[in-house]
């Protein structure tokens, strides 16, 4: 008796390698997909994703636990791995089923890579402007830079040092040795309101005259949270400054250290892009007799390696460059009539894996049906080893 036969003697192994369990997980996945898609209409995309797809369990009617997307996907993954190790019969007659099986496993692996490592952000551009930086939806950073005169008219270039605030704790020290000072977190609120005035902190440095932050409950949708914090700056010469930064400010707080003016700002995190994108023209069609957009699209120019090329981005026609995909997301028109286009930017190192998974699974289906056609009148070899 080999190792596979010995392990199949245990009932618990038989449970995890059951094809019925596979069918059950696939049924749950269908229910979650339908449920989560409908929920997006009322709860929005982010909350629906968190509740139905990114969770291990959630409560139905506030008391009945139901498996979420992560529990179902992990359960299906271990089920398919167990079947591959213990129940699949590895003979050439079953090569199609074997390929299908590993194609499904590759689907799950690509989903894990996308969930863990994909980075989502957005890029908003007015017509005629270009940028090589996108903005996070709800991750924040403290950015510090020195103003430098532009080399060319209308071109703004900054060397920015940024610190992610995700794990900030009271008393944490952030070394900015390249700038000649360090930052100490006195207090940091992940959601707060800001107020001007307050004699107890009259010496605090802030661009908008804010001297007090009031802690607010965290919103379920992270985009609605506005953070703020109070920080101590200590220079190498022993100078000390107290600054307050609030995420709702449009102004930068300027601190003069050693004769050099530094701009500091608490803002949504910025991600550098490996290309420069320029909005050449924004186009929109409206429903007849209304101001409601029927369709909208952006003609952009993308620069890579000093070469520019034009690309039209529309709702079902994204721009793809290496691991990046840019989708038409929304638009805005200000009071002066200037048009702005917002593009969703997704950086995904595993972008190609779902396509490979699809081709592998489809190839396995083709091979399996061809083999079935040639062996229909012959004795068919078993595909799975039955449990005792």
Q: What are the DSSP calls for 131-184, one per residue?
A: EEEEEEEEEEEEEEE-----SSTT-----EEEEE-TT--TT-EEEEGGGTEEEE
Is 277 in contact with 308 (CB distance < 8 Å)? no
Give long-range contacts, CB 8 A cutoff, 24+ apart: 65-68: 67/28, 68/32
Is 26 in contact with 76 (CB distance < 8 Å)? yes
Domain boundary, last residue among 232, 251, 270: 270
382, part of any domain: no
pLDDT digits (tens, 9 = 90+) for 5-29: 767 777 777 788 888 898 999 999 9
Q: 233 with 300, same domain?
A: no
pTM: 0.81
pLDDT at 73 (0 to 100): 94
Please give the residue that has the higher pLDDT: either 275 or 176.
275
CA 374 to mean position of chain CA atoms: 47
132, part of any domain: no
pLDDT digits (tens, 9 = 90+) for 67-91: 999 999 999 999 999 888 888 888 8
Q: 236 with 147, same domain?
A: yes
pLDDT of 206 over the 70 cut: yes
Say if residue 125 is exposed, middle or buried (CB neighbours under 10 Å; 0-12, 13-18, 19+).
buried
Q: 262 with 363, same domain?
A: no
210, part of any domain: yes
Q: 184 with 255, same domain?
A: yes
Say if residue 385 is exposed, middle or buried (CB neighbours under 10 Å; 0-12, 13-18, 19+).
middle
Domain boundary, last residue among 270, 286, 307: 270
- Within the chain, strands assigned E span 57-60, 64-67, 119-126, 130-145, 160-164, 173-176, 181-189, 192-196, 210-215, 228-235, 240-246, 253-257, 260-286, 293-304, 307-313, 319-321, 324-333, 339-347
Q: 13 with 98, same domain?
A: yes
Both tokens of residue 71?
A: 């529990």
Q: 25 with 90, same domain?
A: yes
User: The tokens 């120019």 sit on which residue?
Assistant: 301
* Dihedral over Cα of 105, 110, 111, 116: its sign: positive
pLDDT digits (tens, 9 = 90+) for 209-234: 898 899 999 988 888 999 999 999 98
Both tokens of residue 42?
A: 């009322």
Q: 326 with 239, same domain?
A: no
364, part of any domain: yes
93, part of any domain: yes
Q: 262 with 154, same domain?
A: yes
381, part of any domain: no
| Separation between Cα atoms, residue 160 and residue 142, nearest integer Å | 10
Q: 335 with 365, same domain?
A: no
Q: 303 with 355, same domain?
A: no
Domain boundary, last residue among 249, 270, 291: 270
Please tell me the total count of domains within the chain.
3
pLDDT of 200 over the 60 cut: no
94, part of any domain: yes
Domain limits at 45? Answer: 3-117+351-374
Weakest mean pLDDT among 198-202, 239-243, 251-255, 384-388: 198-202
165, part of any domain: yes
Q: 81 with 167, same domain?
A: no
Q: 207 with 288, same domain?
A: no
């Amino acid at each position: 008796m080999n190792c596979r036969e010995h392990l199949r003697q245990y009932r618990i192994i038989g449970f995890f390698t059951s094809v019925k369990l596979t069918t059950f997980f696939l049924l749950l996945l269908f229910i979650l997909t339908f449920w989560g898609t409908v929920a997006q209409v009322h709860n929005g995309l982010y909350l629906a994703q968190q509740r139905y797809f990114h969770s291990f369990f959630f409560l139905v009617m506030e008391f009945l636990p139901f498996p979420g997307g992560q529990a179902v996907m992990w359960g299906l993954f271990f089920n398919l791995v167990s079947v591959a190790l213990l129940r699949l019969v590895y003979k050439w007659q079953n090569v199609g089923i074997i390929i299908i099986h590993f194609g499904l496993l590759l689907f799950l692996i690509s989903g894990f890579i996308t969930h863990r490592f994909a980075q989502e952000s957005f890029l908003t551009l007015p017509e005629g402007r270009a940028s090589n930086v996108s903005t996070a939806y709800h991750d924040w950073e403290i950015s510090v830079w020195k103003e430098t005169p532009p080399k060319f008219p209308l071109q703004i270039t900054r060397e920015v040092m940024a610190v992610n605030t995700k794990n900030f704790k009271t008393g944490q020290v952030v070394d900015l040795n390249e700038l000649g000072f360090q930052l100490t977190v006195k207090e940091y609120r992940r959601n707060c309101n800001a107020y001007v005035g307050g004699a107890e902190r009259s010496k605090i440095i802030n661009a908008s005259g804010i001297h007090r932050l009031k802690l607010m409950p965290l919103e379920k949708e992270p985009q609605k949270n506005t953070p703020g914090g109070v920080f101590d700056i200590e220079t190498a010469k022993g100078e000390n400054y107290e600054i307050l930064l609030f995420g709702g400010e449009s102004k930068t707080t300027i601190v003069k250290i050693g004769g050099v003016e530094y701009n500091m700002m608490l803002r949504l995190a910025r991600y550098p892009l490996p290309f420069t994108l320029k909005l050449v023209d924004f186009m929109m069609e409206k429903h007849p007799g209304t101001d409601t957009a029927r369709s909208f699209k952006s003609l952009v120019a993308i620069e890579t390696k000093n070469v520019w090329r034009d690309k039209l981005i529309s709702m079902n026609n994204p721009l793809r460059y290496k691991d990046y995909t840019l989708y038409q997301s929304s638009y805005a028109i200000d009071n002066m009539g200037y048009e702005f286009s917002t593009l969703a930017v997704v950086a995904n190192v595993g972008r190609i894996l779902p396509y490979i998974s699809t081709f592998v699974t489809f190839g396995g289906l083709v091979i399996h049906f061809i083999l079935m056609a040639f062996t229909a009148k012959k004795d068919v070899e078993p595909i799975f080893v039955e449990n005792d």
